[in-house]
Amino acid sequence: MSDGTRPPHTWIAVDPDRFLTDAIAGLVAATDHLAWEPDPGFLHRTDRTDDGVALVSGGGSGHEPMHSGLVGAGMLDAACPGLVFTSPNALQVAAATRHVDRGAGVLHIVKNYTGDVMNFRVARTMVRDEVATDHVLVDDDVATDPGAGDDEGGPGRRGTGATVLVEKVCGAAAARGDSLDTVTAIGRRVAHNARSFSVAFAPCTVPEARSPSFDLAPGEMEFGVGIHGEAGVDRIPQQPADELVDGMLGRILAALQPDDGDDLLVFVNGLGTAHPLELNVVFDQAVRQLTDRGFTVRRSLVASLVTALDMAGFSLTVVRCDDEIVELFDAPTGAPGWPAVTATGASRPVDVHFAEPDDAADSGDESAWLTAFVGRVQESIDDLTDLDRQAGDGDFGTNMAAALRHFGLPLRGSDSEVLRAIGTSFLVRAGGTSGALFGVFFDELARAAGESDDRLEVLRTGVVEALRRIQDLGGARVGDDTLVDALSPAADALGAGVSLAEVATAAADGAESTRDLVASRGRASYVGDRARGVVDPGALVVAWFFAAAADDL
């Protein structure tokens, strides 16, 4: 996850006065069933033909796909977008309410923010003689003090991740023909049984703003952040996923107070730039920890549905659920922002692992030269990553670590055994281009070492065949700014019968020559001239290999 040091998002270049309207125009153009009413401004469905209860929601823009992306069959009938992080006005809400009413009444789903609450309340007053209305207030965020609610005149808990769950369940209830009173009661049941907590590793930046919404030092995170860019209730050091989720669940469960054995719906939500891999890590921890506490995660949702522009972080929502809520959660919807497929069964902890390859090198005599090579690479992972960030896509150091970090030093075994272990490790553990090419390199060296005890002969035979196979695989030639620029001159030197010291020098000179080249192969070729002046990390590792061989002799 982010360390909080990323630069502020500058946003796509667009006239700030047209930012919201152009975004809405793109959404409508891409969605068959959506239309925009410009006066006073709301989105609505065009495909509804029944006469059931209608749902209206809305809020400040910047939380998409909530709410505009959740307009569709089985969810919202209209959404009222405000400016970024600003509630819609009462005229928008009132007009949308009148437009979608089919005689069965209209339910407002409202996040507990002061502007939203006020404007939706005013709108209901404006239409009270025309449309039957009711509302569900969503107030799930336990980071804000529930003790500052109505009794003390404070705003209470903020409305956050649970909002989309209320919209989904209420939309399904309306679609099956429930009355306004019934739909309202179901929505309030979901809201009452839902609690959320959010964290951020980097702030959001409002379009046209000069700076992010808050500042974070490297290694810090906001604990209890809001979805409008608000800083958290605490600033803490970044934590491992298990500790972080444990702290969040502690607050959520203390507020929700589910009974032992209760069925739960768990929603892990990305706040803007959290990657799906990160969200899945969070859900893995949530389901493990809740299961350990004796709860059943009966339904789950992992998606970025309630965002805060480009904030890097996530929220965790837990809902106490029953059979009816589960049935309505599972019901189909045509809302474009809702995931096409969601889980329809209980979630349980799953143990996932990759089978360990047979690549140990820990028995027999010490292999000094291969130990020196592997040790040098292990110590240089960060440097190799930095080189590849300048010359390619930044994954070279990661691939080297994946292949070699598990080896304990010193390496032990015959040359053939250790070379075979290294080759297997590259092929199985590293993957990618680096894994394939270095896997082939060490595989051919191991094959040659199995046929001769003369290291110079092993290198001479193995390197030539490895070079042939590598060039056949990737098509690289000298001058393409790849590991071939070090491997080919080393092969030539070996063929000329010179000393290993001279072979190592030829490989080092070849690696250095890549500093002035522009890659024409591999991902480094995508960055063009920006890679000039940087040594290719693959060529550098090849040079280190020959240096280790020469130094040992």
Higher pLDDT, 486 or 528: 486
Listed range (32-41, 97-106, 415-424, 427-436) with the worst mean pLDDT = 427-436
- Report the percent of the chain where pLDDT is more than 90: 81
Cis omega (within 30 of 0) for bond into 65? yes
Domains of the chain: 16-209+218-330 (3.40.50.10440), 368-552 (1.25.40.340)
Higher pLDDT, 309 or 391: 309
| Structure-block tokens of residue 240 | 């491992």
Which of 47, 29, 45 shows the shortest CA–CA distance to 37? 45
Judged against a pLDDT cut of 50, whether residue 151 lies above it is answered with: no
Judged against a pLDDT cut of 50, whether residue 521 lies above it is answered with: no
Please give the backbone phi and psi of residue 505, each rounded to the nearest 5 degrees, phi first: -65, -40
The percent helix, strand, coil of the chain (3-state, each to 5) is 45, 15, 40
Print burial letters for 432-456: b (CB count within 10 Å at least 16), e (below 16). ebbbbbbbbbbbbbbbbbbebeebe
Judged against a pLDDT cut of 90, whether residue 14 lies above it is answered with: no
The answer to whether 46 touches 99, Cβ cutoff 8 Å, is: no
Q: Give residue 258's Cα distance to chain centre.
A: 29
Helix (H, G, I), strand (E, B) or coil at 422: helix
Print burial letters for 271-300: b (CB count within 10 Å at least 16), e (below 16). bbbbeeebbebbbbbbbbbbeeeebbbbbb
Which of 170, 221, 228, 229 shows the shortest CA–CA distance to 194? 170
Q: What's the pTM?
A: 0.86
The answer to whether 202 touches 216, Cβ cutoff 8 Å, is: yes
Q: What is the pLDDT of residue 527?
A: 41
Listed range (310-324, 328-342, 482-496, 518-532) with the worst mean pLDDT = 518-532
Under the banding of pLDDT at 50, 70 and 90, the label for residue 132 is very high
Q: How do strand 234-237 and strand 296-303 relate by DSSP bridges?
A: unpaired
Alpha helices in 270-392 (DSSP H): 276-292, 323-330, 368-379, 381-391
Higher pLDDT, 338 or 148: 338
Under the banding of pLDDT at 50, 70 and 90, the label for residue 531 is low
Contacts of 216 (CB under 8 A, 6+ apart): 4, 5, 201, 202, 203, 222, 235
Q: Which residues are catalytic?
A: 228
